[in-house]
Amino acid sequence: MEASVTLKKVGKLVKDKTILAGLTFGIEKGSLVAIVGDNDAGKSTILRLLAGFENPDYGNIYLHGLNTNKRRLETRKMVGYVPHENDLDPWLTLAQNIKFYGHLFRVDSATIQRRLTHYAAQLDLEPYLNELASRVSQGIQKRAMIIRSLIHNPDVLIMDEPTGFMDASSIRKTWDLIEKLKGDKTIIYVSNSLSEVEQSHDRILVFNGGRIILDGHLDKLLESTIEYHQFQIEFETLTDELFNHLCKVVTVVSPNRLGNIFHFYGRTRSVFFDVLTAASGLPMVDLNVKKLGLRDLLDSEFAGDGLT
């Protein structure tokens, strides 16, 4: 497939600290790519570099084969960017904020109005379009920022927490829109909502310390953990003595506790019975067995033991 975005040894430093360390990867045209990772992993920084918000300290970024540093003015037209923080002009209405951005990109008034009406209907923003940005909630502002980023019809859409501050209904509508845009536009986003990432992606990049430690579709990323199961047993009373005793069961991986709940991983379902045997006779309140998800993959302790 044709590459839409290509990074070659891209690095970013802040004073002596490495924020991004020589990243090299490509993103296919029309794909939906999620970037996840811990705080300070470099997720937002990579988005800012891709959007042209900041320049890399070394390396090159290419959009549709054009170097973003050398062909700055051309590549900027290709990108729509939704920053994490709300950055609308507080004394303009939402519609005026969006139209202003369209005019900056020399989109004619009729086209701006058509796109504004189209996207506002999809994100249910029509009732707020004539409100000043300073007088609406952050979630509504975020929806307006998404429309603003689409008003010049960019090929690449870059979004930092696209559903940040939104209520459940707005989150659903936003993801519906993103899914519709996928294929036509390359979409790269950062989100801390792992359940949303699990639902909406073609590829997930897991960042850690400015590097990509995992890259692929969730199913592929979970392949190495396919034998693992996640177990949870709630005891009436989980004493320290019992917890330590259960931790010593040799087939138990990465055990931890939350109150009276004993949480652990195991390669086979039979591990569950090993623990039940070890805890025989003690009153239990609840049992739970789950397939592994993205959250477990990002659990550094488990990833350290089981994935790398």
Partner 1 sequence: MILALLKRRLWLWQNQFIPLLILFLIFPIAVFSLFDLSMRNIIIQSLGKIPYDQWAFPGIITIIGSMIIFPPIYRDYYHLRVHGKVLKTVALAPFSKRVMVHSFLSVAVLEAMIVTIGTSILFVNLISTGFTFGKMFGLYFFLILFYGLIGNIFITMALWIESATIYLLATFLTYCFIIFGSGLLFELDYFPVSLEFMLSLLPLSLLSKAMHLALFSNSIEWILIVPIIIIIALWTIGNGMLLRKKLIQ
List interacting residues with partner 1 (CB under 8 A): 51-55, 72-74, 76-77, 79, 81, 83, 85-93, 96, 99-101, 103-105, 132
Q: How far apart (Å, rounded) are the C-alpha atoms in residues 205 and 213?
A: 8
Q: Which is nearer to partner 1, 81 or 228 (CB)?
A: 81
- What are the angstrom distances between the C-alpha of 52 and each of 110, 111, 289? 28, 25, 45
Q: Which is nearer to partner 1, 45 or 254 (CB)?
A: 45
The CB-of-73 to partner 1 minimum distance in angstroms stands at 4
Q: How far apart (Å, rounded) are the C-alpha atoms in residues 294 and 231?
A: 16
The CB-of-25 to partner 1 minimum distance in angstroms stands at 23
Q: Which is nearer to partner 1, 141 or 174 (CB)?
A: 141
The CB-of-51 to partner 1 minimum distance in angstroms stands at 7
Q: Which three-class secondary structure string do you get for 102-143?
A: HHHCCCCHHHHHHHHHHHHHHCCCHHHCCCEHHHCCHHHHHH
Q: Which is nearer to partner 1, 13 or 284 (CB)?
A: 13
The CB-of-157 to partner 1 minimum distance in angstroms stands at 13
Q: Which is nearer to partner 1, 2 or 54 (CB)?
A: 54
Q: Which is nearer to partner 1, 47 or 253 (CB)?
A: 47
Number of neighbours of residue 17 by Cβ within 10 angstroms: 9
284 contacts: CB under 8 Å, gap ≥ 6: 233, 234, 235, 236
Residue 32, beta-bridge partner list: 187
- What are the angstrom distances between the C-alpha of 39 and each of 190, 208, 211, 222? 11, 9, 13, 22
Q: How far apart (Å, rounded) are the C-alpha atoms in residues 111 and 101?
A: 13
Beta pairing, strands 261-266 & 253-258? antiparallel
Q: Which is nearer to partner 1, 91 or 273 (CB)?
A: 91
Structure tokens that stand for 29 in this block: 């045209």
The CB-of-127 to partner 1 minimum distance in angstroms stands at 18
The CB-of-140 to partner 1 minimum distance in angstroms stands at 16
CA 209 from chain centre, in angstroms, equals: 16
The CB-of-142 to partner 1 minimum distance in angstroms stands at 14
Residue 248, beta-bridge partner list: none
Q: How far apart (Å, rounded) are the C-alpha atoms in residues 269 and 36?
A: 29
Look-up of token digits 């029309």: 30
Q: Which is nearer to partner 1, 4 or 254 (CB)?
A: 4
Q: What is the DSSP letter of 78?
A: T
Q: Which is nearer to partner 1, 116 or 204 (CB)?
A: 116
The CB-of-64 to partner 1 minimum distance in angstroms stands at 15
Contact assessment for residue 18 and residue 59, using Cβ atoms and an 8 Å cutoff: no
The CB-of-52 to partner 1 minimum distance in angstroms stands at 6
